[in-house]
Amino acid sequence: MAADDGGHSGKEGVPLGEFTLIERFFARATPERQGIGDDCALIDIGSQTLALTSDMLLEGVHFLPDVDPEHLGHKALAVNLSDLAAAGARPRCFLLDLALPRADAAWLAAFSSGMFALAQAHECALIGGDTTRAPSGPGSPGLLTIAITAIGEVDRDRYRGRSGAQPGDDIWITGSTGEAALALAYRRGQIDLPEPARAACIRRMDRPTPRIALGRALVGTATASIDVSDGLLGDLGHILERSGVGAVLYWPAMPRAAIFSDLPLAVQYACVLAGGDDYELVFTAPASSRAALLQLVGDGVGVSRIGQIESVPGLRLRDGEHPGAPLIDVNLQSFDHFVPPSPGPLGQASADVSALEPGADGHGDKTGVGP
């Protein structure tokens, strides 16, 4: 079993995928310590090494027009801090770029409140940016666009990226995955969620928690790491590709919310393995670190051992840890902005909200959606 790359070759009739697009047209050699291809770029400045990351959120793709601005402010910064967490970096500051359809004082007050509350919690200061008016179109005031560049500090000699996984390393994940994908499916009217699971899933989607404390605690122990934004299979696949290894995952070991026990197995696979928008950390570490890692707790969650790195290429899913446990055959596609979703129980239950019109979920919930 492998995560489907969606046919990213860009050959005639085949969509050019997001990551192949970046690799083909924009990846270049750099004199800096690290450039394109990881959660953060690295720049050495004197005795310091800075980690830099940037994420953009676009109305209609990552969130709906009626998003709760306070939630959106939180999430816009959180998704960037999550990249710093994957690198084991300490947040230091960030830049904010806004293309606004209009200057709405009440909206801006709520947005900035959500953003600054998270920034203060991680001692991460806003130091600049740019603001402009979004171009309007026929019958539209323009699309809100948010871009944040976050900057952190890493330990130069103990930085971890995606390329350090070794055969025999364990695969771990912080917290759990799948709830955000359930929230999106609920808002699309694809599934019903009872309370209190509904509120918990919606909160996971609207207000993700960047695992900064856990990311820092893993410095010196984890051999590779990435944050789960596009789906566990796809993001783990980036570690495997960069490290030149394969892996096996153990389905029974996957941590997941209690609500999943009431859902069909196909829905569980789709959400937990490929749902995305989780902003947990998946990382690898030597088997000798198991006892210490099992005692690790930070950001209100612990870590779970879910698989092992292998020398044989590819990604396999087993129904148990024993080598003789049956293989599970799933065909799932993690999120990609340029590749249409593959058919499945929930389609592409990840970041793109463009198929969800305001109010179309039928549940009357008008708070924000999207990464």
Q: What is the pLDDT of residues 105-117, one digit of tens each?
A: 999 999 999 999 9
Residue 301 carries which DSSP code?
B
Q: Indicate whether 203 and 303 sit together in one domain.
A: yes
**Domain of residue 40, residue span:** 34-158
In the prediction, which pLDDT does 334 show?
55
* CB-based contacts of 164, cutoff 8 Å, min separation 6: 223, 224, 243, 284
Task: Sheet with 280-285: list strands edge to edge.
Answer: 224-228, 280-285, 170-174, 303-310, 246-250, 315-318
Query: pLDDT band for position 196 (50/70/90)?
Result: very high
C-alpha to C-alpha distance for 224 and 226, rounded to whole angstroms: 7
Residue 157, class by beta-carbon neighbours within 10 Å (0-12 exposed, 13-18 middle, 19+ buried)? Answer: exposed
Q: Indicate whether 241 and 301 sit together in one domain.
A: yes
Q: Indicate whether 309 and 211 sit together in one domain.
A: yes
My answer on whether omega of the bond before 196 falls inside 30° of 0, hence cis, is: yes
- Using an 8 Å Cβ cutoff, are 60 and 365 in contact? no
Q: Indicate whether 47 and 73 sit together in one domain.
A: yes
In the prediction, which pLDDT does 33 show?
66
Mean pLDDT across the stretch 299-321? 94
Cα-flanking dihedrals φ and ψ of residue 42, to 5°?
A: -125, 135
Task: Identify the CA nearest to 63 among candidates 209, 227, 208, 237.
Answer: 208
Comparing 309 with 36, the larger pLDDT belongs to: 309
Query: pLDDT band for position 92 (50/70/90)?
Result: very high
In the prediction, which pLDDT does 85 show?
96
Element containing residue 96 per DSSP (H, E): strand 90-100
Using DSSP, state whether 357 is helix, strand or coil. coil
Query: pLDDT band for position 22 (50/70/90)?
Result: low
Residue at 26: amino acid letter: F
In the prediction, which pLDDT does 361 show?
31
Whether 345 is covered by a domain: the verdict is: no
Whole-prediction pTM value? 0.84
Q: Indicate whether 311 and 202 sit together in one domain.
A: yes
Chain segment 233-257, per-residue pLDDT in tens: 999 999 999 999 999 999 999 999 9
Last residue of some domain: 158, 184, 204? Answer: 158
Whether 10 is covered by a domain: the verdict is: no
C-alpha to C-alpha distance for 340 and 350, rounded to whole angstroms: 12
Q: Indicate whether 44 and 97 sit together in one domain.
A: yes
How many domains does the chain contain in total?
2
| Strand-strand pairing, 280-285 and 41-45 | unpaired
Query: pLDDT band for position 329 (50/70/90)?
Result: confident
Q: Indicate whether 86 and 191 sit together in one domain.
A: no
Whether 27 is covered by a domain: the verdict is: no
Picking from 29-38, 194-203, 247-256, 293-302, which range would have the lowest pLDDT averaged per residue? 29-38
